[in-house]
Chain A
Amino acid sequence: MKSSGIIAAAAILVLPSLAMAADKPAAPAAAQPVLSPTAKGKALASDVNKGNCLACHMMADGEVPGNFGPPLSQMKERYPDKAALHKQISDATILNPKSIMPPFGKHGVLTDSEIDQIIEYLYTL
């Protein structure tokens, strides 16, 4: 089946088809510009193949946000405990078993360190 076209065109929730290797450090950084954890987190949160948080949440100036979930703002104030935020992103079904939010960590969409980078970005919101 030719599904790649559908995915690319749909530009909604898409996921990495590659199985995620465990928490490995990224490939040699030489070729890539060096990004701060906050910038990396922002990129991961916007990437349709990664967090794609914008599909469901308003986040600062992120373009065409969805509205399945609440706007993500004042995150540092509301989540002083990073572990609680990590838990929500890693497996939202712990708090709400019926949650539609994908269990990013549990299902291997994001690694632990990627979630940590997203949290650095969320703390700027």
Chain B
Amino acid sequence: MKKTLQKRLFTGALVLMTAVMGGQPAHAAVNKYQAMVAADVKKFQAYFHKEFPDVKLDEFANGVYALDEDARKQWKEMEEFPPYELDVEAGKAIFNKPFANGKSLASCFPSGGAVRGKYPYFDEKRKQVVTLEMAINDCRVANGEKPYPGFKGDLAKVSAYMAYISRGQKIDVKVNSAAAYKAYLKGKAFFYGKRGQLNMSCSGCHMEYAGRQLRSELMSPALGHTTHFPVFRSKWGEIGTLHKRYAGCNDNIGAKPFAEQSEEYRDLEYFQTIMSNGLKFNGPASRK
């Protein structure tokens, strides 16, 4: 019969494929969510390569300094005596300082805390995105300490230290389940959605008009947005988290800012970091 023949052929092909792939069942290689997400990433990055053909993929980690030579020079000078240096040192001390129960942040994280490349990830048990800052506070709470308040201070300093000792780790954030894909889609909707009194979207400023001038501000490309946080920003006069930057951008268009580690911002960070898959973590950084 025709059907059996097809079936046989199919099985034959499967056996062959299995042999080729070293015994891995074919379906495990790429799940359907990962495939949909990979297609998005490809499109997203292709957009920026087309807009900025001279900028290499890794360079997008440097925001506006990848686009403007003058700004880049000033920034390079600033980085000679990095304004975040003291914060990294303070972060190291905090990382190793014992809690009341004798344990420390160091007891929660492997590899001496050089784990930036593992975050953010979707926790399939808790059904939510876990960021590095969230994991830091989870560790404190699990050990009977209070979580650090958000946006800056000790939370940003520890995160800066952990980013610093993880520099060069590759971004490779995965989406492996329906629940993870849902969080990804929420972040994606946030990124492309217009909001606030001024009715603007992240993608409007950081994609469509990336490289243009908004008054005196050159608009950074969204590709590479999450590689280098936390950031010491001259305008802040201190080091702050990615979510502080998100809140600032929301505020500037008359949209409601969300809290540090809110689900909205964690999903947004998940989406944005996935869009930068293939780049390297290079935080902390200085910005004007």
Chain A residues within 8 Å of B, Cβ to Cβ = 1, 3, 5-7, 9-15, 17, 54-56, 64-68, 93, 100, 102-103, 107-109
Contact = CB atoms under 8 A, between A and B. Distances in A.
Given A3-B251, A10-B252, A65-B215, 4 more contacts: A6-B251, A12-B215, A12-B217, A103-B199
What 9 A-B pairs come out closest when comparing CB atoms?
A: A102-B198, A15-B254, A100-B204, A9-B235, A6-B248, A55-B215, A66-B214, A3-B251, A66-B213
Contacts of B154: none
Contacts of A65: 213, 215
B198 to A, nearest CB: 4
B199 A12 contact: no
B212 interface: yes
Contacts of B213: 65-68
11 contacts: A3-B247, A6-B248, A7-B251, A13-B200, A55-B214, A66-B214, A66-B215, A68-B209, A68-B213, A108-B197, A109-B197
Interface of B: 151, 196-200, 204-205, 208-209, 212-217, 235-236, 247-248, 251-254, 257
Given A1-B151, A93-B199, A100-B205, A66 B247 contact: no
Contacts of B199: 93, 102-103, 107
B215 A11 contact: yes
B235 A10 contact: yes
